[in-house]
Amino acid sequence: MTFMNNIRSATKEALDRTAIIAKFLCCLHFTANYLCSPTHAYGPSMLPTLNIAGDVVLVEHISPRIGKIGHGDLVLVRSPLNPNRNLTKRVVAMEGDTVTFFDASHSDSSRTAVVPKGHVWIQGDNIYASRDSRHFGPVPYGLIKGKVFLRVWPPSSFGLLDN
């Protein structure tokens, strides 16, 4: 009889621990996908705001869901050219805005575009080394994954990223 009690006790303990782990993983999934998550932003396109070697930044995922993205915000966007890549860029124009930009494909010419409904115009802060809306056009609002708000690495640059 004690053998069966030991098995029941061990089974109950295993189930309890499994439930705790499952709850933790659910909480982690919810937090990372719907509240806030870290990401590594690197490359020359956001100089001088972000370092070329890379910064670890926090991205909050609530603002795009409730429509609180605006001019000047740093955003994490799923690349329209490669959906496996994320881009960190600045929102320059919202739907209905007119944008005039230098056209790299035609030397010494500028073009004008109107941002269509449901889209944003994004650009890197370093316009000479950035692939952005000037190359692939306005980005659908649905590709915005979140708003970048805090640099956490390197420690010497820790702090809020203002627009």
**CB neighbourhood size of 31 (10 A):** 12
Concerning whether 45 is annotated as a catalytic residue, the answer is yes
Report which DSSP code applies to 145: E
Contacts by residues 108-112 (CB-CB < 8 Å, ≥ 24 positions apart): none
Report which DSSP code applies to 33: I
84 vs 139: CA distance, rounded Å: 16
Instruction: Name the catalytic one among 89, 133, 145, 147.
Output: 89
Instruction: Name the catalytic one among 9, 45, 105, 109.
Output: 45
Contact predicate 91/119, CB 8 Å: no
User: Which positions are catalytic?
Assistant: 45, 89
